[in-house]
Amino acid sequence: MAIEQLFEALPLHYVQHGISKFGVGNLVLALVITAVLGLIADYAWMLHLRSKMPPGPLPLPIIGNTYQLPDNKPWIYFEELSKKYNTPLITFWIGRLVIPYLPSNELLDKRAGIYSSRPKMLVFAELGAGQNNLVNMYTTTQAERDRWRVQRKLTHQGVGIQQVKKYRDFQNDESKVVAYDMLTTPEEYVAHFERYATSVVSIIGFGRRVADHKDPIITDVIAVMHLAADLNVPGKTFPMLMETFPILAKVPTDYAPWKKGLGRKRGGRGHDFFYSLAAEANENEGHEDCYSKMLFNEQPKYNLRPEEISSLSGNLFGAGSDTSSSTLITAVLAMRAFPKTLIPAWEELDRVVGPDRSPSFEDDANLPYMRAFVKEVFRWRSVAIIGGQPHAPTQDDYYNDWLIPKQTWVQGNVWAIHHSEKEFPDPDRFNPNRFLKDDPDSRPFPGERGYMTFGWGRRICSGQALAEQGTWLTVARLVWGFKIQAALDESGEPIPVDIFNYTNGLNWRPQPFKVSITPRSERIKQAIVREGEEALANLAPYEGETKYRMSTFYKQKK
């Protein structure tokens, strides 16, 4: 709108008595001076707050330090800043959003009661599920805490520590199917891992397994989880740039290509993919203990909205599909890049398990090296590389005399924690001996498990127990059953792998790499076939298909 048109839109008495006396030029000058003074005042506030907070690079007005963000893997940059300022906590400004980054667990674990809330996450949360999802919920008021506890309780009823022990039979069978599939199409190991992980959570949530690695629900769900992971990593490109300039989020989505479709309304009551999957499972006969049926049974008691049922059921995929499959891919990369670590594992498995059956959950206590091996998988390249979603203190807090204001976006840095030279010398070397109590490479670590892979405090990942038991079993079965060696190129030369070549999202995984996967012996191969066929028979009651496809669901609903 031209300046003349703006004046025409003003009430007549303003035009007559204001502009005529003051003059257009003077009015424009006054507006400019006011804007400049406002900018100076705002920047003075930023610098004042910066003087009280942990050290970090000098922010610029309005944009803060956004321009300094690297294009890829900012957690490595934040680790370097921590070393530069010689501090366990650094401050970084995304626009006017101030973010302390922690290369330690000092606050989020040891002060869990204070750091139990979430900050306002515009891109990841407010333009999506918002406060309907446990992952995003604030806990600053009693009402918010009460609602969060309801969803947390219902989540524990699905994937709590005691509950997941009931899933071990079909989780074990699905793991056996992975080994079985590796015999025929080992080059598709990524697809087999994704099918396995998605199938386990699908059985839990909806009473239906995913039998084919080409099932559309796998690619659809994994793609959504990758998008969600990308949307929670600070960036200087859209849509994450809206965190720097939040006013851009107020533009209607249909007229804002920079929003990448975020914030678009999905329709009316129950008009959502995961809600529809849950409702479909609730209507199906059998599998009365599936999570979706439990949610509908509890709906009247807790006054659950359809959006909450959608989030609770959908979170199973978020907690168990992409993350678990990515961890298994990392395990294969570690086996390929550090083959000597397999030798003591094979010796232990051959002694305890033998060639005629694969490892079981009951073998865990007798396989200390395998337990250490899996711990190192979690430590070496943790999937949730910045510890999941950011936390926010429910009150002003002080650490080393530094102020951390209430509702500040506080982000962990698992990469820095797991790459501490003090606890993990030569951190990029995959070394299971770190977790063997009497080994010279063993170091004390501030955490019972020896890794911080699943987050901290009251916001720790709900699916941790499910992921840990499934990862241990499947990695142990892969090591027991197969030789993981270099793939050969056309000239017969080994194809190298790059242990740093990972994706850029919050939940990262290795970029595609080639590897040779072959059975360790004929007797082991026969055991894999026998167990695989038995597992498929055991899983037959979970066979079935859904009528919904995420890729077409919303198009059909328009």
Residue 23 region by backbone torsions, left for phi larger than 0, else alpha for psi between -120 and 50, else beta: left
Give the position of tokens 């386990």.
200
CA distance 281 to 186: 33
CA distance 384 to 186: 26
Cβ neighbours for 303, distance < 8 A, ≥ 6 positions apart:
none
Name the binding residues: 461
Environment class of 292 (CB within 10 Å of its CB; exposed 0-12, middle 13-18, buried 19+): buried
Name the binding residues for heme: 461
- Rg of the chain over Cα atoms, rounded to whole angstroms, equals 26
Residue 5 structure tokens: 């048109």
CA distance 174 to 286: 20
Phi, psi of 28 (to 5 degrees): -60, -45
By the 8 A CB rule, do 430 and 337 touch? yes
Residue 164 region by backbone torsions, left for phi larger than 0, else alpha for psi between -120 and 50, else beta: alpha
Residue 10 structure tokens: 């003003």
CA distance 107 to 480: 40
Angle between helices 142-159 and 189-206 (to 10 degrees): 110
- State CA 17 to chain mean position distance: 60
Angle between helices 168-184 and 464-481 (to 10 degrees): 40
Smallest CA-to-CA distance from 205 within 554, 547, 551, 542 is with 542
Residue 18 structure tokens: 């204001």
CA distance 207 to 1: 58
Biggest alpha carbon–alpha carbon distance for the chain: 98
CA distance 257 to 264: 12
Smallest CA-to-CA distance from 464 within 386, 392, 378 is with 378
Residue 271 structure tokens: 């008009």
Environment class of 69 (CB within 10 Å of its CB; exposed 0-12, middle 13-18, buried 19+): buried
The bridge status of strand 97-102 relative to strand 411-412 is: parallel
Give the position of tokens 């232990």.
348
Count of C-beta atoms within a 10 Å radius of residue 437: 7
CA distance 117 to 187: 43
Measured CA to CA in angstroms, residue 239 lies from 128, 181, 263, 389 at distances of: 13, 39, 11, 17
Count of C-beta atoms within a 10 Å radius of residue 367: 22
Residue 443 structure tokens: 């170091």
